[in-house]
Structure formats: structure tokens, C-alpha cells
Structure 1
Amino acid sequence: MNALLALALVFLVYSIGDFIADKTKAFVSSLLVCAIIFTVGFWLGLPKTIFADAGLIPFAKITICMFLIHIGTAIRIRDFIKEWKTVFVTLFATVAVAAGVFFGGRLVIDAYYALVGAPVLAGGVVAYLVMSPVGDVLGRPDVKVFAVLVLVFQNFVGIPVASYFCKKEGNRVRDIFRQGRLQAAKTPLGKTGEKNTFQIFHIPEAFSTPNVILCKLAAVSYISLLLGQMTGLSFLIYGMIFGVILHEIGLLEENCLTKANGLAFVMAGAIAMIFVGLTNTTPDMLVSMILPLCIVLVVGTISCSIVAVLAGRLVHFDWRLSIAMAVTAFFGFPGTYLISLEVARACGQTPEEEKAVLDYIMPKLVIAGIVSVSVVSGVLAGIMVHWV
């Protein structure tokens, strides 16, 4: 397909998703709408190479870490430390997903379906890459296909659940803010002029041009990639950590991609990375594995929700927020970031209310997604792949 035509079609679908999300006040997530449109489209003959034809996949592979660095600049170190409760809840919830599917699911579905489905549901792409050789070792291609189905369709559960409970929590936060019992957080999401706690550098305006910012983002992304290759830990984690630290000490600007006029296209590529997995599904695959797939999704959702609520009680988190953080394992970043934006726009009726909701929900959702998708699930997959 022609590159410009492919790009136009992709942005058309994105626009439809945005429109429906806006009209439904984020009850129906734009990601869910886009996923449905692309899935049906591929079944009806939409070229499966549309994202590559549009140039979004190679572009996203280069810029995805820059996007994580951008998000990192929106969270100050004092806020990161403050979110230790998020890490606590997410850790136990993610383990609960894998444990529930493996030990509970295997009682009613194929044991190897449960084995590959457990870590993949708990983390997505990273876990899938680790677990995908299981089907080859067993000589069972259906096991590998099932892992792909879990990877593809976990979004259809995680996104609406997170969106629904985040909206409920967002309304609660908004009401507290209206009562004057919650102050708007002083974060880089809005210009405050407040000096960072650990700031030791100041960037002159002459050295804060779009080209300079993009140069720094590319260099930091490359360093993150090297560290990821050396340690085996996802380079995206290093990117986000660098974003937090370098902004805190003054070497990276707040909302750096926005200031460099590059956020929209970088985000478009990141979203394409989510939907590219839909090209591997067919109606026949879905029909033949629909029952075990549903069992994995239901068992995993119930397991993580129960554990998240219990863990949330220990750290005094609202149960709705705990569940929303738990299911970020099903879709991860950038879905966590996009849902936060949608919910803030839907719940807030003034810019101040939107900012209060966003400042409260976004750090928790983004950090929860990073912890579950990039860290915990990868460790679990590394352990469970040897259980063949």
C-alpha cells in the first residue's frame, strides 16, 4: 500500500477512536475502538502491512524509548518515591495473574495453554517473546498460536476495565478537589516554575531548541538500549528512569517531546506497536480457541483484582484504583498514558480539575504498567519457560 494512503487510513482510525472516546466520556476507550476496527479490517482484507507501509513500525522502534523518556520527565523523583504503594500493589497483582491462570486455569484447559498464557497475560510482549519457543519445543504450533491470541486479546479486557474503574476513581478525585481537600499536584504537566528538588543544571533557552532536545532524547535512548543489552532488562525501563533523573537534575526539559513539537507523531508510532499484533489473528483461530482464551482472561482478571484489592487495603488505596492498576498488566504503556488523558478530560470540567485528576491517576497507571509489563512478567516468564 502507498505510504501516504496507509498513513492516512491509520490516522483516520485513530480519529474515530478519539471521537468515540470523547462522546462516551472515556467509557469506551479509543484504544478499544481502534483495536476492533483494525481487527475487523484485517479480516475483511485491510493490508496487514499497513503499519509498516505507513512507516510507523520502524519509526516506533526508534522513538518508543524517547516516548518513555518524555513520560519520565512528567514524574519527579519525590513523586516516584511517593508511588511505592503503586509498586507494592502491582507486584502482588501481577504475580496473582500468572498464578491464577497457571494453577487454576490448567484445571479446565490444556496445561500448556495455561503455562504460556499465564506470563503473557501478566505482561504482554516481553513475556510472549520469552515464552514463544515453548510451542516449538513441544512440537505444538497451537500452543504458540494460543500465546499470540492471549497477547492480542488481553487488550479487550484490560483497557475497558481500567478505563471504567479509572473514570470512577477520577470522579471521586474531582469531587475531593472541588471540596478543597486535594491540592493540584505540582508536576511538569503544567508550567509551575518550581525548581526541582535535585536540580543542579539550568538549560539556557538558546540550548533548548527542538533539534537540541531531539538530539538529547536520541542519545539517551541509545544509552538505554546499550544498558538493556548488557543487563537483559528492558531498555524502556532505563529510558523512563533516565527521563525522571535527567529532568530532575535539569538536563532534560519538562514535557520534552511537546516542546520539541514531536509528541503527536511519536505517540502515533507507539500506538501502532499495540495494534500490529492484530494482523496475526483470523476468525478460525479465534473460534477454535475462544473457550480456553475466555477462561484465561476471566481467571486472570479475577485473580489480580482480588489480590489488588487486598493489597490496596494494606496501603489504603481505593479498591477501584487498585483494580485499574492491576489490569495495566494486560496492555501496559502507552495505553496507561492514553487512558489517563482520556479519563482526566472526561472527569474534569475545568482545566484545574483535569490537571488534578491527571496528576493523581497518571503516575500510578504509568508506573503500574512499567512494573507489571516490563519487570515482573519478564521475571515470571524467565522462570516458567523452564517448566515445560
Structure 2
Amino acid sequence: MEFLIAFLLIMLFMFIGEWVSTVTKAYVPSVFITAVLFVIGFWTVLPKNVVANSSFGTSFVTICVPLLLVHLGTLMNLKELIAQWKAVCIALLGVVGTITLTLTLGTLIFNWHTVIAAVPPLTGGLVAALLMTNGLKAAGVTGLVALPVAMFVMHSVIGYPLTAFMLKKEGNRLLTEFHAGNIKVQGNSSLIGEAEQLTKEKTVLKLPQPYQTSAFILFRVALIALISNAFAGLLNNVINANVICLIFGVIAHQLGFLETNALNKAGVFKWLMYGLLAYIFSQLSITTPQILGNVIVQIFVLIILGVLGMFIASWILSKPFGMSPEMGFACSLTALFGFPADYILTTEVCRSVASSKEDEAILLENILPKMLVGGFATVSVASVIIASIFLKLI
């Protein structure tokens, strides 16, 4: 019964977040509410192992992340993916803006070690936070060991509503352009009608429909995920395995090996997303009110400086890269959380802004690829490199 109660509590937090997002029309994102509920729970009565007990542990996540990324590749085409180099550039330059402002103004306010410990997790995810924590321990700077993890907990909570606000502004702008006839639906979205999808895409392996079972879909998605990870290994992980999974998912879809929206057709997409989110939120258990209270001033000031640096860089560079300032800033803000929050935020906002399926399709086609690729560039790749460099500066 303990495991069932754990699962029940996690789903409770998930649906409360979704309901709040629906009521507020995505101005308050579901991931923000769910994260707050997990923090409150861990600080009060929620067991630290609640997520592992609900079956969403490390083994689950190791499997589901590659599957989800291959699946997301089936929602794009190769031309669309290649076209996102601008999103990669502006996201990375936004991170440069964060580093510049925190290392200049930040070091005028706090000591060098404080800034060095906080910046990598500010520009990335949990991996960067753990790298910096271990580095501080090794260097004997024990007074700041809690800072990287506390920064990881706090910056995403601030990033969620800010990103949702930017995406809503971008969504409204795009719909105005679309209704004026300046933008056309390209037909790459997962929201195209089922019948239209079946006529547009290649018949998967030319097998009759009764043989296209959920297990067969999952087998093919897992096969592409396995090939992607093996290929990344051959490259000595010079290109992150997550990026390879996305690219190979796009290619497999283009070749007709995977159908559009594969995991949704297999009936497991939401289950995998909830599990991945629960695992990410389980990392919030490693901090306490006492730890946060000791570093809250440093965290708050450095987040303000970091986000301001992102804002300045992306706002200045958006026009040269052919993006609106709102879209450019949103791409940079993916550094604060990455996947899967970038996917969830984008789809929630597109659903709330749109008044029809066609509106939703045009928004997803124009926003989702930029957000996904921006998140991979910052959190999956840049943050680890930044953390490795900053470790040498402690």
C-alpha cells in the first residue's frame, strides 16, 4: 500500500498543477505549481523516497528520456530542425549575457567563490549543480556546498512563470500574423487530424493497421533510442546523446520507420512525461528551509543579475537572428530548466492562447522546435561545459 500511496500523492500534485494552469490560462504554469507542492511536501510530511516508491526512479528515467526525445523527433521534419540554428545561437548568447553580468557586477557584491559556485547551476540543470557541489567539497569550500543545489531549486521556479509570460506574448503575436495571412501551416504539427496524418505520412513498414500495435511502436522507438546512444558513444559523447536521440527521431520519422506522434499512438506519452517530471522534482528533496535561508540573498541577487544578462543579450540580438524579442528571451530562459519543462510550458501556452486546433498547430510549429533545441543547447551541452570550466576557477 505504501507504493500506491506514493503514486497517488504524485498524481495529486500533477493534476493540481494542471488545473491551476487551466484556470489561469497558463499564466501560472503547471510545472511551477507542482514544483512548489513538492517543495512544501518535502519540507513537511512527504517522504524523501516518495518518487522512487512510485516506480519513477533512476532506472525508469534512464529509459524514458531517450524514448521521449526520439518521440519528439517525430513531431518535426529535418528541414525544421536544421532551421533552428538561430535558436541555438541566441540561447547560447543569452547564457553568455548571464555569465558576463554575474562575473562583473556579481563579484562586486559577493566574493569570488560565491559567484563561481552559483553561476553554472544558474545556466543549467542538476548535473551542473552536482558537479559544482562536489568541486566545492574537494576544494574545502564547505561553507558554499549548499549554494549550487539551492540555486538549482530556486532559479527554475522563477524561470517557469517568466517564460510562460514571454511565450504568451509571442503566441498572441504569431496568431495576429497568422490571421492576417502572413503565416501558413506547414503540416508538421502533431495536431493535424488523424486521418490527414495517415494520408500525408508514409505507411510504417507497409504493414496492415492491426499489426501496428503499441508494443511494435515502443519497440521501434526504443531501437532508435538505442542506436542513438550507441552512436553518441562512438563519438565519445562529443555530441550529447539527448541531441542525437532527437535528430535520429526526426530521421526515422522522415524515412517512415516511425509514425508521427509515436508515443501518443502507443498510449504511453503522458505516463512517461509524468514519471520524468516526478523524478526531476524529487531532486528538490535535497535542500531544506535552513539551507535555503542561509543563501537566499546570494541566490536572489544572482538570479536577478543572470536573468537581466539573458534579457539584455537576447533583446539586442533577436532582430539580427530574425526573432521577436519575446521569442529570443524565451529561448535563452530555457537555460533555467531545460527538458521536459520547456516542452510542457510551450504546449500549455499554445493550448491556452489558441482558439482552434489550427491556431494551436501554427503556434506549436513556430515555437516548440525553438524551445526544445534551445533547451538542449543550454542545459544538456553548455551547462556541463561551463561547470567544467568553473570548477578550475574555485
Structure 2 partner of 1:173 = 174
Give me the whole-angstrom Cα distance separating, in 1, the residues matched to 2:373 and 2:311. Answer: 17
Q: Secondary structure at the match of 1:55?
A: coil
Give me the whole-angstrom Cα distance separating, in 1, the residues matched to 2:19 and 2:229. Answer: 36
Number of residue pairs matched? 386
> 1:272-293 deviations in whole A, cap 9, x for unaligned?
1321121012111111111000
| Alpha carbons of structure 1 residues 129 and 257: separation in structure 2 relative to 1, 3 Å | same
Structure 1 partner of 2:109 = 108
Give me the whole-angstrom Cα distance separating, in 2, the residues matched to 1:254 and 1:381. Answer: 36
Structure 2 partner of 1:11 = 11
**1:1-388 correspondence to structure 2 within 5 Å:** 2-57=2-57, 58-189=59-190, 190-191=192-193, 192-193=196-197, 202-206=205-209, 208-229=212-233, 231-232=236-237, 233-388=239-394
More off after superposition, 93-102 vs 167-176 = 93-102
Give me the whole-angstrom Cα distance separating, in 2, the residues matched to 1:176 and 1:97. Answer: 31
Q: Secondary structure at the match of 2:388?
A: helix
Decide whether the 8 Å contact of 1:185 with 1:360 is kept in 2: no
| Alpha carbons of structure 1 residues 113 and 200: separation in structure 2 relative to 1, 3 Å | farther
Aligned partner of 1:81: which letter?
I
Give me the whole-angstrom Cα distance separating, in 1, the residues matched to 2:123 and 2:206. Answer: 41
> 1:228-256 deviations in whole A, cap 9, x for unaligned?
45523432222112111111222122111
1:130 Cα deviation from its structure 2 partner? 3.3
Give me the whole-angstrom Cα distance separating, in 2, the residues matched to 1:307 and 1:77. Answer: 28
1:264 Cα deviation from its structure 2 partner? 1.3
Give me the whole-angstrom Cα distance separating, in 1, the residues matched to 2:52 and 2:377. Answer: 29
Give me the whole-angstrom Cα distance separating, in 1, the residues matched to 2:120 and 2:257. Answer: 37
> 1:125-184 deviations in whole A, cap 9, x for unaligned?
232243332212221233221000111111112111110010111111112222222212
> 1:216-238 deviations in whole A, cap 9, x for unaligned?
22223233334445523432222
Q: Secondary structure at the match of 1:359?
A: helix
| Alpha carbons of structure 1 residues 298 and 205: separation in structure 2 relative to 1, 3 Å | farther
Aligned partner of 1:354: which letter?
E
Among the aligned pairs, what percent are the same residue?
29
Give me the whole-angstrom Cα distance separating, in 1, the residues matched to 2:265 and 2:296. Answer: 45
Where does structure 2 lack aligned partners over 5 or more consecutive residues?
Answer: none
Q: Secondary structure at the match of 2:123?
A: helix
Structure 2 length-normalised TM: 0.93
| Alpha carbons of structure 1 residues 188 and 344: separation in structure 2 relative to 1, 3 Å | closer
> 1:53-107 deviations in whole A, cap 9, x for unaligned?
1011232222111011111111111111222221121121122223322333222
> 1:283-332 deviations in whole A, cap 9, x for unaligned?
11111111000111111100011101111121221111111111110000
Structure 1 length-normalised TM: 0.94
Decide whether the 8 Å contact of 1:113 with 1:147 is kept in 2: no
> 1:182-233 deviations in whole A, cap 9, x for unaligned?
212310412544767xx89844245532111111222232333344455234
1:110 Cα deviation from its structure 2 partner? 2.9
Q: Secondary structure at the match of 1:48?
A: coil
1:268 Cα deviation from its structure 2 partner? 0.7
Decide whether the 8 Å contact of 2:98 with 2:307 is kept in 1: yes
| Alpha carbons of structure 1 residues 202 and 118: separation in structure 2 relative to 1, 3 Å | same
Give me the whole-angstrom Cα distance separating, in 2, the residues matched to 1:205 and 1:96. Answer: 53
| Alpha carbons of structure 1 residues 341 and 201: separation in structure 2 relative to 1, 3 Å | closer
**CA-atom RMSD in angstroms:** 2.0
